[in-house]
Amino acid sequence: MTHNNQPVALITGAASGLGLDLARQLAGKYELVLVDINLASLQSQCLSLPNSHCFGCDLASVEDVNRLTIMLSVQFPRIDLLINNAGITHRSLARITRPDVIEKVMAVNFFAPMRLVNGLMASLEAGKGKVVNISSMAGWMPVMARAGYCASKSALHQYFETFRAEMKAVGISVLMVYPSFLDTPIDKNALNGDGGKINHARSMVGKMRSSEWMAEHIVVAIHKQQERLFPDRFTHFSSLLYQLMPRLFMYLMGRKFASELEVN
């Protein structure tokens, strides 16, 4: 059960990177419910975060996610903020990527957020909660060597844009965040086509942003009740270019990411 009258914020992937920076931004203002696959690391971070609770969960496991939602719905009958931040990616061409690698990316990036919201629906309704999803520019446009990642973020986008419209009447809102390239552990832990750790540098366009910078923008967008956040001009421009001039976008993307074709 909650221990005070503070609103409750649940953050996944909170042991490092953007999730940890979001927790630090919200600490003191929210009772924090923090989730990560690395429970030991998460618990060490919780020592410096007041009024926080740590839970270990492998979001790629349906059984783990179901157990977590049952436990949290009992302990936290009201949730005011759910931030689906945890994510994984791969950097490998579609033709050499095993289907189970794509399935794992889909499980963490799409199915886990969907299951968390579904399993915690009563708590979110009680708190008239806001769901924040960390999507990506890859949810709007193709990025070479990331077909599974693009698919997962596209599914996240479509599902929660629809969900927002359906839940407006009951007071649950949705903020979709579309960053471009962030300096976070998600890329350092990227999978290759066989599911192992990637060993080549990533291709990118635009400016690399820090997770602290991104967390600050997300917290502001939450307070402003925004529905979508394009945190930099490049991301917004790229999305418009792909919609209006898809052939030009594909040509430019093919040139920028040509090195990915050499990895096999």
Rounded average pLDDT over 240-248: 88
Ranges 61-70, 88-97, 248-257: which has the least confidence = 248-257
Rounded average pLDDT over 42-61: 96
- Whether the pLDDT of residue 1 is over 60: the answer is no
Distance CA 258, CA 145 (A): 10
CA proximity to 153, closest of 200, 113, 121: 113
Q: Quote the crossing angle between the two packed helices 233-244 and 246-256, to the nearest 10°.
A: 120
- Domains of the chain with CATH codes: 8-262 (3.40.50.720)
Q: What is the pLDDT of residues 187-228, one digit of tens each?
A: 667 888 988 877 655 555 556 678 899 999 999 999 999 999
Please give the model's pTM, rounded to 2 decimal places.
0.91
CB within 8 Å of 155: residues ≥ 6 apart:
106, 109, 110
- Whether the pLDDT of residue 99 is over 90: the answer is yes
At 249, is the pLDDT very low, low, confident or very high (cuts 50, 70, 90)?
confident
Per-residue model confidence (pLDDT) at position 215 = 96
Pairing of strands 173-177, 228-229: parallel
Q: Three-class SS of residue 228?
A: strand
CA proximity to 109, closest of 53, 151, 75, 146: 151
